[in-house]
Amino acid sequence: MQTFTNLPWTARSWLEIPVNSDFSIQNLPFGIFSTSEARQPRVGLALGEFIIDTAVLFDAGMLAQVPGLSRELLYANSLNSLLSTGVSTWRALRVRVAELFTQGNNDVLKNADLHARVLVKQSQAQLYLPTKVSNYVDFYSSREHATNVGAMFRDPQNPLLPNWLHIPIGYNGRSSSIVPSGVAIQRPQGQLKNDADPAPTFGPTRQLDFELEMAFITGKQTQLGERIPTSATDEHIFGLALLNDWSARDIQRWEYVPLGPFLGKTFATSLSPWIVTLDALQPFRVEGPEQTVPVLPYLQTHGPQTYDIQLEVWLQSARMNEPIKVCHTNFRHMYWSMAQQLAHMTSNGTNIDIGDVYGSGTISGPTPDSYGSMLELCWKGTKPIDLPDGSQRKFIEDGDTVIMKGWAQKNGVRVGFGEVRTSVLAAN
């Protein structure tokens, strides 16, 4: 089992950090960024409104204590190479950066030239996908979401399929269409067919939807044939990020029988730029929902397996000055844990790569305002949302922007994920 290194609750940074900032000194999430002055992508850690340029710290000799670290690992367009060195390197890097920016340490604070070069305003940086993603898997692990969808489209009396309480359902997605926050997506086109139509037609989706998810990102590679037990999954998970797994409900509904999601899902998936480490999230670890049906031995776990992470979705039309909140839920509602998802995914011996992305599936809670998709919030279009501009929404329209936010907070310490923000363009 991985041994975690938590930064002290009482630690405070000498850098001024706004109240309720997601990026406290206890967080320090990892990402990849560049600036207009320095276009080479490189590794940064978020603190307050700034990005700490680790490459500058390395060149200044401030990271000599970090084992296995090199200049090439930090001047990189993904975190993959850094993660491949092992947990001892990236963990020591995060701890050393925390030390340099904690009150009482003057190594950076009193060095005017270094101070000016090492801190980059997030608002002035270009942020990228944090890892090079070889594989993407999306799960279907919220009991509330699966129940809602089953009640809408199958049998309200028996909404869950027989296997759902026994197996973490998932499918292999398309990693090439994962895009970072801030990159707009185009409305997808595909085959559409209503029940009353004699034949399908081809055109833009009329039921574009978001799916509020968390993603875990792997930080350790396995070989083909190797299985990961639930007791060892923490050793293979680097951290978590926000994920919007877009859906075209009408395209998906027509195509998904008999093989499941395809073009209705693969057109775009939006990922937040910051990965929050499991180390930073350990103080927020909690028990998940009771699993009412006994699971097979390879899926059994011990101790708290999920995290108390508040999640919100905001929606803004092109005519609105400010977004409105349409959903507030919590990651702790997920029925299947990340440990069970990864253990099941590798139970057949499939191998995992560093930087792989694993979506939780839509995160819905027990109340209507906690549903993690428009399909549920508007209940298949029967309960539209009223917007301040006078319009209504059953699904997402061209010009709309969807913003997802997430954070954990306890004893005055906030560890957040920033946001994943995506605008929708008309079909090409």
- Catalytically active residues, by annotation: 145
CA distance readout (Å), 99 to 62, 104, 107, 379 = 11, 9, 10, 49
- Residues 68 and 55: their CA atoms lie apart, in Å, by 14
Q: E strands along 37-177, which residues?
A: 42-47, 50-53, 119-121, 126-127, 136-139, 170-172
Q: Which residues pair with 392 in a beta bridge?
A: 386
- Residues 152 and 380: their CA atoms lie apart, in Å, by 7
Burial-class residue 182 by CB neighbours within 10 Å (0-12, 13-18, 19+). Answer: middle
- Residues 210 and 403: their CA atoms lie apart, in Å, by 10
Evaluate whether 123 touches 151 at the Cβ level (below 8 Å): no
Backbone angles phi, psi at 74, to 5 degrees: -95, -35
- Residues 219 and 98: their CA atoms lie apart, in Å, by 21
Q: Which two tokens stand for residue 9?
A: 């609750």
DSSP 307-342: E--EEEEEEE-TT-SS-EEEEEEEGGG-SS-HHHHH
Q: Which residues pair with 119 in a beta bridge?
A: 52
